[in-house]
Amino acid sequence: MRKILPGAALVAVVALLAACDDFDIGGMLDRYREDFHYSYPLSPGGSLEVENNNGSIEISGWDQNTVDIEGSKYASTQERLKEIRIDVEQSPGSIRVRTVPPLDRHGNYGARYVIHVPRKVQLTSIASSNGPIHVDGIEGPAKLKTSNGGIRATEIQGTLDAQTSNGPLDISGVEGDTTLRTSNGAIRADVRKGGFEANTTNGSITARVMDADAKPVRLESSNGHIDLTMDAVREVHADTSNSSIVVRLPASANATLRAHTSNSSISSDFDVTAHGVISKHRLEGSIGSGGPLLDLGTSNGSIRILRI
């Protein structure tokens, strides 16, 4: 049993830690906790599914054909803690882990997971209702979802679908089609190759795409700026309602530009050969010899095309 912090000290700690993307408040505030540990074989390329009601999920790849599951379940009373079960369904090609909640779902309870998996794995569904998710070092597709918490995914070789309702998304080292969605939070992403789509309602998008690819980049924010860096030019569709758009291109870039803003200006480090209407609020033309379309639009903000 852990000590309960005095009121003033507890408020100060919660205020400090709540600013962290990976902070899981549930496990800190509950008096009763019980650790668990399971280990199962899994064939390379097999699938893992985790369904958690409340609490964090951390998954990392390793060089073993074993899924190692450790963590702790927590609750506000001893009786409710006993009712929480960690249910595991296992076969040679798939493992499903589920947190079975207590009968009385009022109050705070949940589980925190730290899981090691074979690098070649399919994360078919990793979900938490309230808590952050962190995935690292996976060679396979990953589908991640949480309602209240941030998502961090690094070094993923496969398609990535990450979604949260209230929290930031921080993605790096992805090689595969990537779809990111959050309602209230910033998106930061470094994507090596594959299609890339990012959407947030209240937050900024800062992204870098590294390799040339025929699949487009689609970025949308209702209330936040968009800052995109491309090491190799590809098709882009970027739109925000109430902020600016910045696109950074290599000096040798060739592209077709279509940019418009309702209440600000458009500027470019590159010479643009006009094809259509040129005004303070609209610019259409070619950069260099022309190439992939850069379709950029904002209602209340500037648009800048910058040289890397």
pLDDT, tens only, 143-179: 999 989 999 999 999 999 999 988 999 999 999 999 9
- Whether pLDDT at 29 is above 60: no
pLDDT of residue 3: 36
Same domain, 116 and 222: no
Query: Is residue 157 domain-resident?
Result: no
From 199, 153, 152, select the one nearest 176 (Cα to Cα): 153
From 66, 71, 69, 75, select the one nearest 56 (Cα to Cα): 71
Q: Sign of torsion, CA 274 278 283 284?
A: negative
The residue among 95, 110, 143 that closes a domain is 143
Same domain, 122 and 187: no
User: Given pLDDT bands bounded at 50, 70 and 90, which one contains residue 5?
Assistant: very low
Same domain, 195 and 139: no
Query: Is residue 161 domain-resident?
Result: no
Query: Is residue 16 domain-resident?
Result: no
Distance CA 208, CA 189 (A): 6
**3-class secondary structure, 31:** coil
- Whether pLDDT at 198 is above 90: yes
pTM of the model: 0.87
Alpha helices per DSSP H over 226-283: none
Q: Give the CA dihedral 47, 51, 57, 61, nearest 10 degrees.
A: 0
Same domain, 130 and 77: yes
Number of structural domains, the chain?
2
Distance CA 303, CA 288 (A): 19
Same domain, 83 and 175: no
Query: Is residue 148 domain-resident?
Result: no
Domain hosting 177: range is 168-308
Same domain, 87 and 220: no
Alpha helices per DSSP H over the chain: 7-17, 25-29, 78-83
Token pair recorded at residue 46: 């097999």
Query: Is residue 13 domain-resident?
Result: no
Same domain, 172 and 290: yes
Side chain identity at residue 154, one-letter code:
T
- Whether pLDDT at 30 is above 70: no
Same domain, 137 and 173: no
Q: What is the residue-wise DSSP string for 169-231?
A: EEEEEEES-EEEEEEES-EEEEEEES-EEEEESSS-EEEEE-S--SS-EEEEESSS-EEEEES
From 199, 173, 36, select the one nearest 110 (Cα to Cα): 36
% of the chain residues with pLDDT over 90? 79
User: Given pLDDT bands bounded at 50, 70 and 90, which one contains residue 107?
Assistant: confident
- Across residues 91-113, what is the average pLDDT? 91
- Across residues 76-80, what is the average pLDDT? 91
pLDDT of residue 280: 78
Same domain, 90 and 187: no
Query: Is residue 10 domain-resident?
Result: no
Same domain, 192 and 298: yes
Q: Count how many Cα atoms sit within 13 Å of the Cα of residue 273 in the half-sphere of its side chain.
A: 9
The residue among 110, 143, 176 that closes a domain is 143
Of 20-24, 123-127, 191-195, the poorest mean pLDDT is in 20-24
Same domain, 184 and 135: no
Query: Is residue 62 domain-resident?
Result: yes
